[in-house]
């Protein structure tokens, strides 16, 4: 059953969102889903992922649509002094400013945290997301998910000998950074209850990508060996791999000796756990190839989905390899409210499940600049001044060509 709408855990929190593309918008969508007033301030050209299609809905690409629900859009030209004055107006009583502008841009515009914002808005939490940080050998360079995946070693452990080093198909550097950014902002809000002060948060795609290199970094430090391509199998656990069955490919994860014995019992391979080669996790890992061949002989003869059901009943994690359409139409996806609908919009629901203050999808992603006049009116800007801002191209209501 759908959860009744609530104000949300972050109701009363005001977020000024200068981010674009993926990492920042993913973070601010989490805030928006849980009741924060997220005002998405877009440059005159708009967030460029509005154009990252097809597919499109009313001129906006799916890439944008998947990251910007529950937000309000204001088009603002911050290269003009009047635009920066409007931003200062929006920052009055704001809790959070989050941006991923090119390193140094805010300072160039007279909006630097240390130079201006810290004193002007002492309770403000300013979160900056950049590719590599502001300094160091890569400091200031632009960062995109796949490039950072390459720099941070993700390619080197993803793929198999046939494919070679391969990009992770989900942009997890961006999304992981967005989640880290959301966590960091919530930490800063919590600390502000004690100190009464905001602070600057320096988030980089590179740092987050390196931090997510588990278990490869600890494996490297402990063994002295450089991790290589793992394919579908796990570098530390066996069997933890993809297997062919009579009907579908399935993934099985027997993470300990007890789970391995249960797997063998379901397969009718009761002698395997007593084979000296497979008697412990370490030995199974050492004899991975032989064990995989033996297990495959059992699995290729049976229905994969039925086998997964029997393994799960026995306490062994297993599941069929599904495509996106199958996932979004799956009974469990619907049961968990992860296939969401709001007006014309369809997408994933929120994975954060609160009992008292559940999040909600209340509005579809906004058209560019559609909320500009309302937002400025709320912040005390007169209708006469709004018209002047529109006339001067400061408040932008229609996207400009890049």
**Rounded CA separation 122/388 (Å):** 30
Cα→Cα distances 199→27, 153, 385, Å: 18, 31, 32
**Rounded CA separation 22/8 (Å):** 23
Take residue 279 and report the two structure tokens written for it.
Answer: 């008697």
Crossing angle of helices 172-195 and 23-33, rounded to 10°: 50
> Per this entry, what is the length of the chain?
402
What is the Cα Rg of the chain in Å? Answer: 25
Selection from 318, 302, 303, 321 nearest residue 255 by Cα: 318
Query: Per residue, what are the HEC states of 339-402?
Result: EEEECCEEEECCCCCCCCCCCCCCCCCCCCCCCHHHHHHHCCCCHHHHHHHHHCCCEECCCCCC
**Rounded CA separation 164/155 (Å):** 9
Which residues, 6+ apart, have CB-to-CB distance to 115 below 8 Å?
A: 107
Cα→Cα distances 352→189, 328, 331, 341, 348, Å: 19, 18, 19, 17, 12
Q: Would you report the helix, strand and coil content of the chain in percent, each value rounded to 5?
A: 40, 15, 45
Residue at token pair 């656990």: 237
Q: Tell me the longest C-alpha to C-alpha distance in the chain.
A: 84
Selection from 387, 384, 366 nearest residue 74 by Cα: 366
Which residues, listed in sequence order, are joined to residue 251 by a DSSP beta bridge?
A: 242, 319
Q: Catalytic one among 17, 33, 174, 241?
A: 174
Which residues, listed in sequence order, are joined to residue 339 by a DSSP beta bridge?
A: 348
Q: Is 392 a catalytic residue?
A: no
Give the DSSP letter of residue 208. H
Catalytic residue positions? Answer: 174
């Amino acid at each position: 059953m759908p959860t009744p709408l609530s104000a949300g855990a972050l109701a009363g929190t005001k977020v000024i969102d200068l981010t674009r593309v993926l990492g920042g918008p993913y973070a601010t969508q989490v805030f928006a889903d849980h009741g924060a007033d997220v005002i998405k301030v877009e440059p005159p050209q708009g967030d460029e992922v509005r154009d990252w299609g097809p597919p499109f809905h009313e001129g906006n690409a799916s890439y944008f649509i998947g990251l910007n629900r529950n937000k309000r859009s204001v088009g603002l030209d911050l290269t003009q002094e009047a635009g920066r004055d409007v931003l200062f107006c929006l920052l009055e009583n704001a809790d959070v400013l989050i941006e991923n502008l090119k390193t140094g841009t805010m300072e160039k515009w007279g909006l630097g945290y240390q130079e201006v914002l810290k004193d002007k808005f002492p309770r403000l939490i300013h979160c900056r997301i950049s590719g590599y940080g502001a300094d160091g050998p890569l400091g200031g360079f632009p960062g995109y998910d796949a490039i950072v995946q390459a720099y941070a070693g993700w390619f080197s452990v993803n793929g198999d000998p046939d494919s070679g080093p391969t990009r992770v198909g989900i942009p997890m550097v961006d999304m992981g950074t967005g989640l880290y950014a959301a966590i960091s902002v919530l930490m800063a809000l919590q600390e502000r209850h004690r100190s009464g002060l905001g602070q600057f948060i320096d988030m980089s795609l590179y740092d987050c990508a390196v931090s997510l290199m588990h278990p490869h970094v600890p494996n490297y430090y402990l063994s002295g060996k450089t991790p290589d391509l793992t394919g579908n199998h796990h570098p530390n656990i066996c069997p933890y791999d993809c297997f062919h069955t009579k009907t579908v490919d399935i993934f099985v994860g027997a993470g300990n000796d007890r789970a391995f014995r249960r797997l063998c019992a379901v397969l009718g391979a009761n002698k395997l756990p007593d084979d000296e080669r497979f008697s412990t996790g370490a030995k199974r890992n050492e004899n991975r190839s032989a064990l995989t061949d033996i297990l495959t002989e059992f699995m290729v003869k049976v229905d994969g989905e039925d086998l997964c059901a029997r393994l799960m009943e026995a306490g062994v994690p297993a599941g069929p390899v599904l495509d996106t359409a199958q996932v979004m139409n799956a009974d469990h996806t619907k049961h968990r409210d992860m296939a969401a609908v709001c007006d014309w919009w369809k997408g994933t629901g929120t994975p954060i499940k609160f009992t008292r203050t559940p999040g909600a999808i209340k509005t579809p992603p906004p058209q560019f600049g559609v909320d500009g006049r309302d937002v400025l009116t709320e912040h005390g800007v007169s209708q006469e001044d709004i018209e002047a801002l529109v006339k001067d191209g400061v408040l932008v209501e229609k996207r400009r060509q890049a």
